[in-house]
Structure 1
Amino acid sequence: MDDAHGATFGDLLRRHRRDAGLSQEGLAERAGLSVDAIAALERGRRRAPRAHTLRLLFDALGLDPLDRAQLTSVAHRQGEGQRPALRPMPVPAGELVGRTADLAQASRLLGEGGTRLLTLTGPGGIGKTRLALATAAAVAARFEEGVCWIPLASLTNVVAAIGAALGLPPLEGERAIEEAAEHLSRRNLLLVLDNCEHLLTEVALAGATLLECCPNVSILATSRELLRIPGETVHVVPPLALPRQDWPEERLADSPAVQLFLERAAARGQPGLDRFSQVARVVRRLEGMPLAIELAAARTNVLTVDELASELEDSFAILTGGSSTALPRQQSLRAAIAWSHDLLTPPERELFATGAAFSGGWTLAALAAVATGQTEPGPMPRAEILDLTSRLVDKSLVRVNRDGGTARYDMLAVIREFAMSQLEQSGRYDEVARRHAAFHVALVEQAEAHLRGPNQGDWLNRLDLDLDNLRVAITWALRTGATAEAMRLAGGLWLFCYLRGYYAEGAEWLEQALKLAEQAGDEKDLTPSKAKALVGAGMLAFLQCEYDVATERLETALALYRDLADEAGTALVLQRLGGVARERGDYEQAEVLHRQSLTLAESLGDRSAEAWAQNHLGFVAWLRGDLAVGAEWCRQARETFRSLGDGEGLAWSLISLGAIAQYGGDLAGAETLLRESLALSQRLGYREGVAWSLNQLGIVERRRGRTERAVHLLDESLAEHQDLGDRWRSASVLEELATVARQRGRPSYAAFLLGAAGGLREVIRAPVPLVEQADLAATRAAVEAELDPGDLATARAAGRAVPLHSVADGYPASTDPPDQ
């Protein structure tokens, strides 16, 4: 068959279809094409099918080689010069790293479920363009005419850019976008609009028109802000996955963030970097942001990874020196963020800068209070702050976390540093910092009333969420000499610091606040705050076994409370002084102080204070071996704590009752009580309760002969006590571990542990509790009998010489005899 009479491709296709006895629907079904595509080809609306479409048609019609060649020739002749080439996608410089899930998700969205507009969004430098390139390549085969790449970063006219990318004559005038739509109305392709954020209105109008008028056109957009047009599906591009904190060194390179750093460093002539722990430190600091990682990797030509990690702890200013062919905003991290900042309205800029005052995130209420200077802003200011926050979230400058009952917002660290520079340049920093501190003073004082009682866990968690903000507020108060704020913050947080295990940090805050108060002189208004701060300082010093400091702070607080005629404060201090006496082994003095505390609590009708005094009296009793007396006191306390909903108090009464059962030989009863206390303490995040419960459960397992399980529990307990800084309890756990070591046939290691415990006790000047002395004496005697004097002395001396954190490395199962 020839085309000498000027037959078009459409004429020839129609003739072959009819010869094959097929309708348009039949051919479309057999070829895997749309009916509209067959009709368009036959009628000449589409004159030059792609090679892939030709092959599908030839196979469906069963054409012989001669007919295939003829149709191919006509198609090529008709296609010559009829349509200009689409702007092709740029070729990526490197492999796509760490985006397997994002690529699969974006490809699925564009290929299924009717998604015709997919916007890849996220902050500058997150890798939107690179993911768009990979996505477009992955889905190109789904579009008969392929992909048209339309870069908008340096342009101002969206329609002209679309026309130029399609190879059309210049499109101008009011109907320009309609003309582009007419040209695309019968075409099947994917438009990729890259970097839309500075032309949002124009892109939205053009995109809406094209989607409405061009049923076979889909759009893939990258933008720091959503387009907000009907049919838009959004994929937020996340940072690259970071290595987990518990991964071993050899696994760190599995992290996509680490892989990107290593790849880019190798490209800079620094292959073979093997300090994976330091690379992990770098990428964690950069929170997995690809541009930041690439810019950091570029610095490996002049810095070691260790130096780079240290530099980044102080500032992100070194993140410059991107590709010389990249746009200016991609050559430094600051420029990338500044591009987004320049697109903000003045109110958005002001709130963005205000957000820099927060560290670790904030709630809408917190931001509204700091932005307005009102602790409880009214509905209208809150609504305005919500609207502005929503815009900053949409512009990828602020992140939102909806996991809890209350939404929290934050910024990537690199963005927060830029926002802080804007806040400082605005001259508003001092005022915003003062408001930030005032809000958190109010939060602390609101929380303080709930840190014992049925809502204890909720308020502990609330303060934990804002711990970084509390640190910022206290640092500001101490640095600026804001004595009242420093005292209220540090004094109001000591119980939180105790329960959550921040002993050293809380003590440092309190000591610095007290120094400020001393410098402020004898101000009567500060006396109640000073007394509270002294109690907290004394308690946290006591918990770290600084008994002399604790006694001095508590006795000063006692004098202040007595001057104030504050009986509740007096009862609390007496209770704490009783604790110091108890750990120093002065059980008689401890009992006297706790009874005085109980008498005051009873006179005040304070059931919580009564229960605590009873619990401490029980604690003193069982430590000195009076198990029955201890049980009576602790049972009374337990019932009150249960009725009051005091989780901390209940955990302590259970620990005491469990210890009493354990020393009394009721191991099953002890385990029940101690497992309840462990579960409760873990639920509350009450670290001292966890450490004590593990300690006593370890003794239960040792008494049962289950020494492997005992080692596990005791090692966990020792790690907790050591981390808390509680040397008194660490010594007792070491002595119990020594007993287990002797039972497992390791007398030298037992002597080593006894030496370590003895060294601790000498430093803190605290004796072995009476209830523990019998077991310890038996262990010492057995070890001394099994070792010659020289070996015994050597092992003990080695234990005394080793720092506490290096003492317990666990027991290798392969070297120990099996449990009996």
Structure 2
Amino acid sequence: MSSDGSRRGSDDVQEAGFGGLLRRHRREAGLSQEGLAELAGLSVDAIAALERGRRRAPRAHTLRLLADALRLNSAERTQLTTSARNDTEAPQPVLRRPPAAPNELIGRTAELTTTRRLLGQRITRLLTLTGPGGIGKTRLTLALAGELSDDFPDGVCWVPLAALTDAEAVAPAVAASLGLHPMDTSRLLQDIADQIGRRTLLLVFDNCSHVVSAVGQVCAALLESCPNLSILASSRELLRVPGENVYVVPPLTLPEESELSAAVRLFVDRASARGYDLTGQLEQVARVVRRLDGMPLAIELAAARTNVMTIEELAGELETSFGILAGGDRTASPRQQSMRGAIEWSHDLLTAAERDVFAQLSVFVGGWSLGAAAVVMSGESAPGPVARAEALDLTGRLVDKSLIRVTRHGGVARYDMLAVIREFAADRLQTTSSVDEAVRRHAHFYVGLAEQAERELRGANQEEWLERLQSELDNLRSAMAWALQTRSASEALRLSGALWRFCYLRGHYAEGGQWLERSLALLPTTDDPSPALAKANLGAGMLAFLQCEYDVATTRLVTALAQYKELDDAAGTALVLQRLGGVARERGDYRAAEDLHCQSYDLFEKVGDQSGMSWAHNQLGFVAWLRGDLDIAARRCTKARDSFRRLGDGEGVAWSLISLGAIAQYKGELVQAEVLLQESLTLSQRLGYREGVAWSLNQLGIVERRRGLTERAVHLLDESLAEHRDLGDRWRSASVLEELAAVAQQRGHSEYAAFLLGAADGVREVIQAPVPEVEKRDYLATRSAIEESLDRRAYRTAWSAGRSAPLAAVADGYPEQSSAPHPRYL
């Protein structure tokens, strides 16, 4: 008897209030929540909500249904009704609501849509918004919490953690936000779980990074105990608990062309709030936000500087340093008042090993691969499994802490840092004794990569390796700068010599040529040639030739020829002869060009170099069609094309198609010409082979002119001229100008046509290269038509103006049709 009485007394205490009383009656009736719900005609969730206290003030009708289902007597019904009334009148804990946003959220429509779907549709119960300091996690969290208020009938509870200094304070902070203030904290987490119960509630943790482990433990426990709870967290580091769904908050979109991007709109809004009028200055704003990588905090801090700086001054200052990104809102936390403070706070949370690696990785420019990181971290030229595993682990930890970004493309992961973070890391590296060693390891890795790529650029993997080198171009430039600055002649020569072919294919003629010339200048005068020295002279000669510096090219190529012969390197000798043949071809000496290409072919055949033999065929075909021997040219170029296709040489296929297309258009076979040239254009664009693109556009423009489609011809020729001019190819620029003159004459712009012919003549005089034989017929016809249309004085005035105009001024694009003389030569 005493035992039963003791148990009943305990139940009375534990189950006080309406919810406890209802639960006691249900248990005494031997019913589950499902059983009571069925008898009363209510939902199971309604019964659970009433028992847990999530639902208060039940209607009289609901009370009657419950009493009937439980078969309560009159006294028990009265007690149940009174208990419900007392619970309704008792004050209930008030949830801490999210604070009101201080200003408009700009440019996060897509982010809100994605994250709201994840939480609102219960796709995930725990969503962590992550990203580096200053990316806008808290601002997006606030907006998302507001958007979700209608999706959680029991409310949204805001738990701010930024001010906490102790992980033990996390659970009390949650309790306080829920309106709980228990005296006994020994079972605080259970009390929190009981308070939430089965309520459909959104709990929002803001700024978790410095107490991330404790937050993870709280979240895991609550998600397990509270089936209808959802959690939204903002953190620079992942919580790493079961069920976590991560959303990496991206930077604001950057401007393209004249687009008013989100980053630009944010800057304009914040600068305007300080009274700065940016009318007509959006180009400078775009420059600023691009430099800041679209980081919202950085943009706001930069906009704040418009109270004392012009936008031009601000843009210039940011090119050299991010130090001016400070002086934010004084009500903000210290880490939000400057970009350095935001990054330093994250840095202080790193382990010693993570800090060391973070600093070392700042040697990379424009991103890096895992293999490159392993070399810099370990110092091994070919890191083994242990070194690679350690590099992967440390890189992953920095990714999880939002200090490194990862992108995936073509089955390959690459890593990088935002510019403001990299500057901070580089400053840290400068304070260590390992800075010189880290930079040296970086340079040595890229020398090796360039030499590996060089072997791959003449075969089936050409496209893949061109893209790889392009993605590493900033790192290659950095390695080259180190080699030149430290006067490391061997590394400079190896790197520049390995890269000249890439520079040719991707159109970096001037830059590659400068690298080679500066590398060669580091070497002492010696009579002993080496393969690296011969290759460097070959590359320097080739890149000078492509820019129509024929005398410089000839000097370098003749030097390389002597060196390869002394080295008894037949393949190298053949390559130089091929390049010398190119110089002779552009200078109009077709006999010498053919002789040099034949010598080249013989040497390639002697060493069994199928690729070299194919190129010799193509070059002989090129010479043949330039001098007007179209049938011979067609046979040679067809043979070259078929061989290139077997070898998988994309550049070779593109060039042979250009030659065959040109041959077809000069034969008047315009349909066939267009097919061939469109194929070469597509292939060249895919390879990023700029010379191939420029030539294809040139020849397609001639096809359209011959068809009388002058508007289309102008578009194609203008594009071609812009490419050739940017490459520095003045020989081809002159030919395109002559074609544009032909189009201008067809459209009745005789004076402008004369101007263009004069401009072409001026270019040819400088480079000492005549009109190719195959083009002379069209050239003479155009000149004759112009002379017939204009009196002698008008012709000479226009022609002379064009002859003295810089190529850059001439190549701005074809003018709109007008009867008035074009202003460029007035």
**TM more than 0.5:** yes
- Deviation sequence 1:605-632 (CA, Å, 0-9, x none): 2222222222222222221222233233
The answer to whether the aligner puts 1:151 opposite 2:155 as a matched pair is: no
Q: Distance in 1 between matches of 2:546 and 2:200?
A: 72
Q: Secondary structure at 2:481's aligned position in 1?
A: helix
> Could you tell me which residue of structure 1 aligns to residue 238 of structure 2?
226
State the shift of 1:57 in Å.
Answer: 9.5
> Could you tell me which residue of structure 1 aligns to residue 381 of structure 2?
375
Distance of aligned partners of 1:54 and 1:139 in 2 relative to their CA distance in 1, 3 Å threshold: farther
The answer to whether the aligner puts 1:410 opposite 2:413 as a matched pair is: no
The answer to whether the aligner puts 1:142 opposite 2:146 as a matched pair is: no
State the shift of 1:635 in Å.
Answer: 2.8
State the shift of 1:173 in Å.
Answer: 5.0
- The one-letter code sitting in structure 1 at the alignment partner of 2:712 is R
CA contact (8 A) 1:28 1:38 kept: no
Q: Distance in 1 between matches of 2:179 and 2:527?
A: 80
The answer to whether the aligner puts 1:603 opposite 2:615 as a matched pair is: no
> Could you tell me which residue of structure 2 aligns to residue 766 of structure 1?
769
- The one-letter code sitting in structure 2 at the alignment partner of 1:664 is K
- The one-letter code sitting in structure 1 at the alignment partner of 2:193 is A
> Could you tell me which residue of structure 1 aligns to residue 178 of structure 2?
166
> Could you tell me which residue of structure 1 aligns to residue 526 of structure 2?
522
CA contact (8 A) 1:353 1:422 kept: yes
- Which of 705, 727, 730 is the equivalent residue of 1:727? 730
CA contact (8 A) 1:47 1:78 kept: no
> Could you tell me which residue of structure 2 aligns to residue 131 of structure 1?
140
Alignment of 1:234-273 (within 5 A): 234-244=246-256, 247-248=257-258, 252-253=259-260, 255-273=261-279
- Deviation sequence 1:378-412 (CA, Å, 0-9, x none): 11211121111111111111111122221111111
State the shift of 1:588 in Å.
Answer: 2.1
The answer to whether the aligner puts 1:794 opposite 2:797 as a matched pair is: yes
- Which of 307, 312, 318 is the equivalent residue of 1:301? 307
State the shift of 1:169 in Å.
Answer: 2.0
- Which of 320, 323, 344 is the equivalent residue of 1:338? 344
The answer to whether the aligner puts 1:179 opposite 2:191 as a matched pair is: yes
> Could you tell me which residue of structure 2 aligns to residue 447 of structure 1?
453
Q: Distance in 1 between matches of 2:547 and 2:100?
A: 61
> Could you tell me which residue of structure 1 aligns to residue 125 of structure 2?
116
State the shift of 1:493 in Å.
Answer: 0.4
Distance of aligned partners of 1:44 and 1:328 in 2 relative to their CA distance in 1, 3 Å threshold: closer
- The one-letter code sitting in structure 1 at the alignment partner of 2:127 is L
- Which of 351, 360, 371 is the equivalent residue of 1:354? 360
Q: Structure 1: any 5+ residue segments left out of the alignment?
A: 1-7, 15-22, 61-71
> Could you tell me which residue of structure 2 aligns to residue 738 of structure 1?
741
List structure 1 runs of 4+ shifted beyond 4 angstroms. 8-14, 23-29, 46-49, 53-58, 72-81, 170-174, 808-816
State the shift of 1:429 in Å.
Answer: 1.4
The answer to whether the aligner puts 1:579 opposite 2:587 as a matched pair is: no
Q: Distance in 2 between matches of 1:218 and 1:582?
A: 74
Q: Distance in 2 between matches of 1:562 and 1:697?
A: 41
CA contact (8 A) 1:160 1:172 kept: no
- The one-letter code sitting in structure 1 at the alignment partner of 2:310 is T
Q: Distance in 1 between matches of 2:468 and 2:324?
A: 35
CA contact (8 A) 1:678 1:693 kept: yes
CA contact (8 A) 1:160 1:171 kept: no
CA contact (8 A) 2:764 2:770 kept: yes
State the shift of 1:728 in Å.
Answer: 0.5
- Which of 366, 371, 393 is the equivalent residue of 1:365? 371
CA contact (8 A) 1:363 1:407 kept: yes
- The one-letter code sitting in structure 2 at the alignment partner of 1:340 is S
> Could you tell me which residue of structure 2 aligns to residue 189 of structure 1?
201
> Could you tell me which residue of structure 2 aligns to residue 614 of structure 1?
617
Q: Distance in 2 between matches of 1:619 and 1:336?
A: 60
Number of positions where the alignment pairs a residue of Structure 1 with one of Structure 2: 776
State the shift of 1:599 in Å.
Answer: 2.2
> Could you tell me which residue of structure 2 aligns to residue 215 of structure 1?
227
CA contact (8 A) 1:622 1:630 kept: yes
Distance of aligned partners of 1:345 and 1:683 in 2 relative to their CA distance in 1, 3 Å threshold: same
Which segment drifts farther, 337-346 or 81-90?
Answer: 81-90
CA contact (8 A) 2:724 2:733 kept: yes
- The one-letter code sitting in structure 2 at the alignment partner of 1:185 is G
Q: Distance in 2 between matches of 1:739 and 1:633?
A: 30
State the shift of 1:322 in Å.
Answer: 1.0
Q: Distance in 1 between matches of 2:496 and 2:811?
A: 34
Q: Distance in 2 between matches of 1:73 and 1:510?
A: 94
> Could you tell me which residue of structure 2 aligns to residue 718 of structure 1?
721
Which segment drifts farther, 303-312 or 621-630?
Answer: 621-630
State the shift of 1:479 in Å.
Answer: 1.0
Alignment of 1:48-59 (within 5 A): 48=56
State the shift of 1:667 in Å.
Answer: 2.2
- The one-letter code sitting in structure 2 at the alignment partner of 1:194 is D
- The one-letter code sitting in structure 2 at the alignment partner of 1:182 is D
The answer to whether the aligner puts 1:682 opposite 2:682 as a matched pair is: no
CA contact (8 A) 2:254 2:294 kept: yes
- Deviation sequence 1:704-732 (CA, Å, 0-9, x none): 22222222221121111111110100000
- Deviation sequence 1:671-691 (CA, Å, 0-9, x none): 232222222222222111111
CA contact (8 A) 1:47 1:75 kept: no
The answer to whether the aligner puts 1:282 opposite 2:288 as a matched pair is: yes
CA contact (8 A) 1:747 1:787 kept: yes
> Could you tell me which residue of structure 2 aligns to residue 650 of structure 1?
653
- Which of 639, 664, 668 is the equivalent residue of 2:667? 664
CA contact (8 A) 2:718 2:814 kept: no
- The one-letter code sitting in structure 2 at the alignment partner of 1:165 is S
CA contact (8 A) 2:705 2:743 kept: yes
Q: Secondary structure at 1:148's aligned position in 2?
A: strand
Distance of aligned partners of 1:355 and 1:26 in 2 relative to their CA distance in 1, 3 Å threshold: farther
CA contact (8 A) 1:702 1:710 kept: yes
Q: Distance in 1 between matches of 2:682 and 2:635?
A: 23
CA contact (8 A) 2:740 2:753 kept: yes
Percent of aligned positions with the same letter in both sequences? Answer: 63
RMSD value, Cα: 2.9
CA contact (8 A) 1:171 1:179 kept: no
- Deviation sequence 1:393-440 (CA, Å, 0-9, x none): 111111111222211111111111111112221221111111111111
- Deviation sequence 1:81-122 (CA, Å, 0-9, x none): 633322222111101111111112222211213522111111
Q: Secondary structure at 2:53's aligned position in 1?
A: coil
Q: Structure 2: any 5+ residue segments left out of the alignment?
A: 1-16, 24-35, 66-80, 820-826
Distance of aligned partners of 1:87 and 1:565 in 2 relative to their CA distance in 1, 3 Å threshold: same
- Which of 509, 512, 531 is the equivalent residue of 2:515? 509
Distance of aligned partners of 1:806 and 1:9 in 2 relative to their CA distance in 1, 3 Å threshold: farther
TM-score normalised according to structure 2 size: 0.89
- Which of 198, 217, 242 is the equivalent residue of 1:205? 217
> Could you tell me which residue of structure 2 aligns to residue 65 of structure 1?
none
- The one-letter code sitting in structure 2 at the alignment partner of 1:743 is Q
- The one-letter code sitting in structure 2 at the alignment partner of 1:306 is E
> Could you tell me which residue of structure 2 aligns to residue 92 of structure 1?
101
Q: Distance in 1 between matches of 2:401 and 2:412?
A: 21
- The one-letter code sitting in structure 1 at the alignment partner of 2:596 is L
State the shift of 1:324 in Å.
Answer: 0.5
State the shift of 1:603 in Å.
Answer: 2.0
Which segment drifts farther, 397-406 or 772-781?
Answer: 397-406
> Could you tell me which residue of structure 2 aligns to residue 69 of structure 1?
none
State the shift of 1:11 in Å.
Answer: 13
